[in-house]
Structure 1
Amino acid sequence: MQKCIIGKKVGMTQIFDEKGNVIPVTVIEAGPCIVVSKKTTENDGYEAVQIGYGDVSDKRVNKPQKGHFAKADVAAKKHLKEFRLDDCSALNVGDLIKADTFECGNAIDVIGTSKGKGYAGTIKRYGNHRLKETHGSGPVARHAGSNGATSSPSRVFKGKKLPGHMGAERVTVQNLTVAKVDAENNLIAIRGAVPGPKGGLVYITDSVKA
């Protein structure tokens, strides 16, 4: 069965394997999550589960959300996320999903929101080279350079790499590996880096390429 969980990025650290090799890991506080609703092929045309993460006061949810949680007979949750799974038969409304749903060595995909960098030029945003700083280039060494041809086609082609807002976008990192699972403290150590700042929300699923 496919697995999924919602978590919060704690930060990065390092652990050591049996041979003493250093493994850089990102620690995720994963779950506990609860199944709030299910979608079925008969009723909705597809199969999915909606899971909630993070306790929140009833005062912080609106009236439709209160009804949604009351129908499932679960406490109000701060975050809701729907995961499409091939087979949802093993999960029912009210079931808890904890960190131990994943095991050491599992291949996973992690979805997060990258750190926002604000307005950035093309050198920082795309890794463009600087222009030459002699022979008349003037004070524009970090500019984007030529935007295209002149009278033909008389426009800038779509996809031209220009300055703009950088970061703060949804990023998926595929085929990471679970290095360690601490079920007692609901922690998952993932080998490598995960997008987003400390405290950022992440979604963990089985790898689609494994």
Structure 2
Amino acid sequence: MAQALLGKKIGMTRMYDEKGVIVPVTVIRTGPCTVMQVKTEQTDGYNALQLGFEDVKRSRRKKPQIGHAQKAGAPVKAFVREVSLQQQPTQKIGDELTVDLFREIKFVDVLGTSKGKGFTGVVKRYGFKGQPASHGVERKHRSPGSISVVSGSTGRSIKKGKKMAGHVGHVRCSSRNHKVVAIDRQNHLLVIKGSVAGPPDSYVIVSKAKTKS
């Protein structure tokens, strides 16, 4: 049985728990997800389900993706990902999985993509102190300073892994052990405790927690 679904982060809000304490929560529209492909050990060497989430116009996808959806008898999907399984899947192509999958699950893991920050300097990226504000420093206050060493045998060389300016954010981030606060089956909403990586309307993968039950 699959224990993961695709979804879209709606945003954050807060709720009161049973003791009247305010709890920060994230609302995720989880499912319905269509089974686009079934993989088994006999045919592919491993067990998995390929799920599709949220319909999209045919004009926004390429012909192989359109044909793949037609083969499954489903509309073209905007977000398609594979979910691995421990046992042979019981679902068939075209079946739909809803948020009811988490009705007996107390904790979940969420895999998303963090917010992109663009190309940043070392002060923002790594928290460098920067150069002095005075004493002869001209227009170099946020520069990293020296980046290489002078060696008699190798000459000038920059060590691998040197902290320098570069792209920040927009990477896959997983957060674990989010408590399931509420489930809205009618609107396919899953409310979990805490924050999730990524901006609103970003796609995420929600699965049963691996280290907590």
TM-score (norm 2): 0.89
Runs of 4+ in structure 1 off by over 6 angstroms are: none
* Matched residue SS, 2:147: coil
Amino acid at match of 2:89: S
Matched residue, 1:27:
27
SS across alignment from 2:42: helix
Quote the Cα distance in structure 2 between the aligned partners of 1:128 and 1:91: 52
2:88 and 2:106 map into 1 onto residues whose CA distance is 20
Any conservation in 1 of the 2:41–2:88 contact (CA below 8 Å)?
Answer: no
Cα distance between partner residues in 2 of 1:138 and 1:208: 53
Q: Give deviations 1:147-196, integer Å, cap 9, x for gaps.
A: 24222553111111111111122212222222211111111112111111
Deviation at 1:44, TM superposition (A): 0.6
Q: Relative to structure 1, is the Cα distance of residues 46 and 104 closer, same or farther in structure 2, using a 3 angstrom cutoff?
A: closer
| Residue of structure 2 equivalent to 1:38 | 38
Match of residue 116 from structure 1? 116
| Residue 129 (structure 1) aligns with | 129
* One-letter amino acid of the counterpart of residue 173, structure 1: S
Q: What SS does the corresponding residue of 1:43 show, helix, strand or coil?
A: coil
Matches within 5 A, 1:49-128: 49-103=49-103, 106-128=106-128
Q: Percent identity?
A: 40
Judged with a 3 Å threshold, the aligned counterparts in structure 2 of structure 1 residues 171 and 71 are, in CA distance, closer, same or farther, namely same
Residue 2 of structure 1 deviates from its aligned partner by 4.8
Distance in 2 between residues matched to 1:138 and 1:60, nearest whole Å = 50
Deviation of 1:77 after TM superposition, in Å, equals 1.6
2:19 maps to amino acid: K
RMSD: 2.0
User: What is the alpha-carbon distance in structure 1 between the residues aligned to residue 149 and residue 198 of structure 2?
Assistant: 38
Gaps of 5+ in 1: none
> Is contact 2:16–2:22 with CA below 8 Å preserved after alignment?
yes
Equivalent residue pairs, number:
210
Structure 2 portions without partners, runs of 5+ = none
